[in-house]
Amino acid sequence: MFKQAFQQYKKKNPPPDLQDVIDVDLYEENKITSHSWHNLVKPVHISESAFIQSEARLRQAVGLQPEHLWRCYQLSNHPGLLLIRNPFTLSGQRYWIARGLRDYSQPPYVSNLDATKFSPAALSNWWQELQNCSNNGDVKLASRLKVAMRWTTLGYHHNWDTKVYDEAMHSTFPSDLASLCEAFCVTLGYTNFVPQAAIVNYYPIGTCLSGHTDHSELNHSAPLFSYSFGQSAIFLIGGTTLNEKPSAIYLRSGDVLVMSEASRLCYHAVPRVMTTDQEPWNIVESKANTSKENDDVGNMDTNLNNALDSKLFEKVKDELFWQPFNEFIRESRINMNVRQVLPMGMHQIPT
């Protein structure tokens, strides 16, 4: 039943009927009574009162709104699955999009780019070479470069052939992405989570990701955090076998999906990436909010400033600097999914 649902939402001609795709925006607007899924969505209330000031500052430091503004949902038929609807600020969305394109695509992180098909310049700095080709009018090469980048791995590299992690294939995990995960752990009450591996997927509109489970990690009890930016997607979440009918959920820019407990080892997929009906990374914020965000970042503790690339955080607010990132993300979706590889107390993969 999972494969059947995947093919249903993947097909292009004729386009699929999307009325059964869970849309939490319709839930918020009380427009869901006619949908078959309306009894599955359960709001999760996040209280601000339990958190101390330093924890609130951590959230602000990584581009998140105060948690009392978060809209969090769970699905009654998928225990452990949480969807947080765009908890990011405008600058926060732009920052993580830029990090994913400019920085996480470079060595020492591992990418899918084929050394036999692209120059050393493209392999060492894909984003810069893409901009050079675009600026030089080499449209054909720029187009090839753009669609060629499909994934990178951060921290522990997941070997796609052996389906295992290897201690020898290991780079330092980005401190800012680790801080982002920490902010969600603090807010949601997850303890002892250590971000050790991430896969950054780059999806052009019209592409997909087939059904699979994330079982290669030695630690299956820790949650998996999935951050979406750019164009919209349909996400399928099923059960532990392909025989179970999955639920389909809209994921939009800024959404955070958390897979924990029973949902951690369930089959999931992205059968459809499609044009979004809104661009929250370009919504102009009020001067008061922008000023407050500047003050929050400027007043961060030293250890938080070290986690964030504060220069990039400021640059993405400049429309000229932001333009090439904006052009890319208008045709693509970026997904960063972070997980813990090792059980607590274990410091390396056994040989």
The pLDDT of residue 322 is 97
Phi, psi angle pair for 34, to nearest 5° = -90, 0
The pLDDT of residue 203 is 95
The pLDDT of residue 168 is 87
Confirm or deny that 220 is annotated as ligand binding.
no
The pLDDT of residue 247 is 93
pTM of the predicted protein model: 0.92
Residue 119 resides in a domain: no
Query: Which residue type does 219 have?
Result: N
Residue 345 resides in a domain: no
The pLDDT of residue 69 is 87
Residue 208 resides in a domain: yes
CATH assignment at residue 169: 2.60.120.590
Residue 121 resides in a domain: no
The pLDDT of residue 295 is 47
Residues in Cβ contact with 135 at an 8 Å cutoff, skipping those fewer than 6 apart: none
Tell me the C-alpha to C-alpha distance, in Å, between residue 144 and each of 91, 102, 134, 169.
29, 17, 11, 27
The residue behind tokens 């993969």 is: 349
Residue 74 resides in a domain: yes
Instruction: Count up the domains in the chain and report the number.
Output: 1
The angle formed by the CA atoms of residues 344, 345 and 351, to the nearest 5 degrees, is: 100
The pLDDT of residue 282 is 94
Confirm or deny that 212 is annotated as ligand binding.
yes
Q: Structural domain of residue 165, as residue ranges?
A: 2-112+149-339
Sign of the Cα pseudo-torsion (343, 344, 348, 351, in order)? negative
Residue 190 resides in a domain: yes
Euclidean distance between CA atoms 45 and 60, whole angstroms: 20
Rounded to a whole number of angstroms, the distance between the first and last alpha carbons of the chain is: 38
Count Cβ atoms below 10 Å from residue 217 Cβ, excluding itself.
Answer: 21
Residue 216 resides in a domain: yes
Confirm or deny that 25 is annotated as ligand binding.
no
Residue 185 resides in a domain: yes
Print pLDDT tens along the chain (351 aa).
Answer: 989 998 999 998 898 999 899 999 887 666 656 566 777 888 888 765 445 555 667 777 789 998 888 999 999 899 999 999 999 999 999 999 999 999 999 999 999 999 999 999 999 999 999 999 999 988 899 999 999 999 999 999 988 788 788 888 899 999 999 999 999 998 888 888 999 999 999 999 999 989 888 887 776 888 999 999 999 999 999 999 999 999 999 999 999 999 998 888 889 899 999 999 999 999 876 554 554 555 444 444 444 545 788 899 999 999 999 999 999 999 999 999 999 998 888 888 887
Euclidean distance between CA atoms 25 and 2, whole angstroms: 25
> Running DSSP on this structure, what letter comes out for residue 126?
H
